[in-house]
Amino acid sequence: MAETATVDQLMLQIADKYPTLSKQLKIIAKYIEQHRTSLMLERISDIAEHCDVQPSAIVRFAKQFGFTGFSEMQAVFRDAYTAQTGPSPNYQQRIRKLIETKASPLQSGAMAREFIDASRSGLDELLSGLDETRFEEAVKLLHKAENIYVIGVRRSFPIATYIVYALQHTNKRVHILSGLGGMFREQIRSIGKNDVLIAISFTPYGKETQACVRLAHHHQAKTLVITDSQLSPLAKHATVSLTVKEGSAFAFRSLTNAMCLCQALFIALAYRLELNVEEANAIDGYDE
């Protein structure tokens, strides 16, 4: 595995094995997930200190996943992120790099086709990797909720606003945490133990979203997390977590998979709510 591993493949393996790892190795797994972009620069002693474990535990962790030691595992992250040691390029820089790397100008239609193809590949991956048990748990969670709060910032904001729009077509009380005026804390302060927070966030994970998840947990509310890894910092307090990875083209990630997953959640919830209405009507008719 070590010869052909990519970061994504390794993180998938870590997520699969995570429940069976020892307490020490779970701490290391979480650290690696949260610091994957800087791991190539860190010494084994630094990681051991941050995780409050011995360096030998780091080596043992690497061997769990087919590496001869920490250095070989670190090389996977170095190969993946050498080009990303500087600040993330903004949109204009990405477009300019795209122009520089192509021998001739791209036609708009060709660009559209490539982006659509990347999105379609992402949907195929979403379909094949869908955890139906977790999805069912998510629907049950929303079905039982008295109030549903939703947060998603920056790139995740359009996904959050869509699911709020969709859920407004049910009889559920739905609240979007927009943070208008910097008032995330004030907007979530009324959440209670019979409510659910839907938190949507992907790498590098919005700090505002993480804070709202912690506040919801403090108020004993349930949390449905939609993110890109079971080891994301949001998953720590999740009642149910659904993972979704997006296709990308020209260094831009699509929103197709996350939007599709949210649409599926809404349709499944609406179906269940309507089913319960029909069952209730049938019982009432029988009683008469």
pLDDT in tens, 193-238: 999 999 998 877 888 988 899 999 999 999 999 988 776 778 778 8
CATH topology of domain 7-83: Arc Repressor Mutant, subunit A (1.10.10)
* Domains 7-83 and 131-285 in one fold: no
| CATH class of the 131-285 domain in this structure | alpha beta
pLDDT at residue 3 in the model? 45
Q: State how far the alpha carbon of 94 is from the alpha carbons of 14, 228, 233, in Å.
A: 31, 22, 28
Tokens of 138: 């998510």
The pLDDT of 43-50, averaged and rounded, is: 89
pLDDT grade, residue 87 (50/70/90)? very low
- Residue pair 117/143 in contact (Cβ under 8 Å)? The answer is no
Question: For the chain, where are the alpha helices, taking DSSP H only?
Answer: 7-17, 23-34, 44-51, 55-64, 70-81, 91-101, 108-129, 132-144, 157-167, 184-188, 207-218, 256-287
Instruction: Compute and round to an integer the Cα radius of gyration of the chain.
Output: 22
pLDDT at residue 80 in the model? 65
Residues 6 or more apart whose CB falls under 8 angstroms from that of 239 comprise 141, 196, 222, 223, 224
Q: Averaging pLDDT over each range in 81-85, 101-105, 277-281, which range is the top one?
A: 101-105
Per-residue pLDDT at 30 exceeds 70: yes
Domain boundaries, the chain: 7-83, 131-285
pLDDT at residue 5 in the model? 60
pLDDT at residue 279 in the model? 45
Per-residue pLDDT at 161 exceeds 70: yes
Listed residue (44, 269, 49) closest to 167, CA to CA:
269
pLDDT grade, residue 85 (50/70/90)? very low
Per-residue pLDDT at 192 exceeds 70: yes
Rounded to whole angstroms, the Cα distance separating 241 from 264 reads 15
pLDDT at residue 247 in the model? 62
Q: How far is CA 207 from the centre of its chain?
A: 14
pLDDT at residue 127 in the model? 82
Per-residue pLDDT at 189 exceeds 70: yes
> What is the average pLDDT value for the chain, to the nearest integer?
80
Per-residue pLDDT at 276 exceeds 80: no
Q: State how far the alpha carbon of 48 is from the alpha carbons of 15, 51, 54, 144, in Å.
A: 20, 5, 6, 42
pTM greater than 0.85 (yes/no): no
- Residue pair 14/78 in contact (Cβ under 8 Å)? The answer is no
pLDDT at residue 1 in the model? 46
Per-residue pLDDT at 253 exceeds 90: no
Q: What are phi and psi of 214, to 5 degrees?
A: -65, -40
pLDDT at residue 185 in the model? 87
Polymer length in residues for the chain:
288
